[in-house]
Chain A
Amino acid sequence: MKKLVHRLGWPGTIALAVVLLFVFVGLFAPWIAPYPAQGAGAPNVLAKLAPPSADYWLGTDHLGRDILSRIIYGTRVSLTNGVLIVAFSLLIGLPVGLAAGYFGGWIDEALMRGTDVFLAFPALLLAVLMAAALGPGFLNSIIAVAVTWWPWYARLARAEVLVLRGQPYVEAARLAGVSHPRIIARHILPATGRPLTVQAALDVGPALLTAAALSFLGLGVLPPTADWGQMVDAGRKFFPARWWYSAMPGLTIFIVALAFSVLGDALRERKGGTVRAPA
Chain B
Amino acid sequence: MPLLDISDLCVRIPTPEGEVHAVRAVSLRIERGEIHGVIGESGCGKTMTGMATLGLAPKGARIEAARFHFDGADLREQAKALRGKRIGMIAQDPAAALNPVLSIARQMDDVIRAHRTLPREARRREAADLLAATGLPDPGRVLKSYPHQLSGGMQQRVVIAQALATGADFLIADEPTTALDVSVGAQVLALLRKLVAERGLTVLMITHDMDVIAEACDRATVLYAGRSVETGPVEAVLQKPGHPYTRALLAALPDAAPHGARLAAIEGSIPPPRTRIAGCAFAPRCPKAMPVCAAEPPPERARDRHTWLCHLPEDAA
Contact = CB atoms under 8 A, between A and B. Distances in A.
Interface of A: 105, 167-179, 182, 186-187, 190-191
A186 to B, nearest CB: 6
B114 A169 contact: no
Interface in B52-101: 54, 56, 59, 83-85, 88-89, 91, 93, 96-101
Given A169-B99, A186-B106, A187-B99, A175 B114 contact: no
Given A176-B84, A176-B114, A168 B166 contact: no
Contacts of A175: 54, 56, 83-84, 88-89, 91
B207 interface: no
Contact of B114 (A105, A167, A177, A187): A177
11 contacts: A169-B96, A172-B159, A175-B88, A176-B110, A176-B111, A177-B84, A177-B111, A178-B111, A178-B114, A182-B110, A186-B99
A219 to B, nearest CB: 44
Nearest to A169: B99
B190 interface: no
A172 B97 contact: yes
Given A175-B83, A175-B89, A176-B162, A167 B110 contact: no
A245 B98 CA distance: 61
Given A168-B96, A182-B114, A186-B110, A176 B165 contact: yes
Contacts of B257: none
Interface residues on B, range: 20 to 34
A182 B54 CA distance: 21
A-B pairs, top 3 by smallest CB distance, nearest first, are: A177-B84, A168-B96, A172-B97
Contacts of A168: 91, 93, 96-97
B163 interface: yes
B144 interface: no
Given A175-B88, A176-B162, A169 B83 contact: no
Contacts of A186: 99, 102, 106, 110
B112 to A, nearest CB: 10
B166 A177 contact: yes
Contacts of A169: 96-100
B98 A172 contact: yes
Contacts of B106: 186
B115 interface: yes
B97 to A, nearest CB: 4
Main secondary structure of the interface of A (DSSP, over half): helix
B164 to A, nearest CB: 10
A176 B91 contact: no
A170 B93 CA distance: 13
Contacts of B89: 172, 175-176
A175 to B, nearest CB: 4
| From A170, A176, A177, residue with most partner B Cβ within 10 Å | A176
B114 A172 contact: no
A177 B91 contact: no
Q: Which of A169, A171, A175, A182 has the most CB of B within 10 A?
A: A175
Contacts of A173: 99, 107, 110-111
Interface in B96-147: 96-102, 106-107, 110-111, 114-115
Nearest to A179: B114
Which of B83, B89, B91, B97 counts the most A-chain CB atoms under 10 A from its CB?
A: B97
Contacts of A187: 99, 102
A178 B112 CA distance: 9
Contacts of B162: 172, 176
A176 B130 CA distance: 14
B88 A176 contact: yes
Nearest to B87: A175
A240 to B, nearest CB: 58
Nearest to A187: B99
Nearest to A174: B84
Contact of A177 (B56, B85, B93, B99): B85
B115 A177 contact: yes
Contacts of A176: 84, 88-89, 110-111, 114, 162-163, 165-166
Interface in B241-261: none
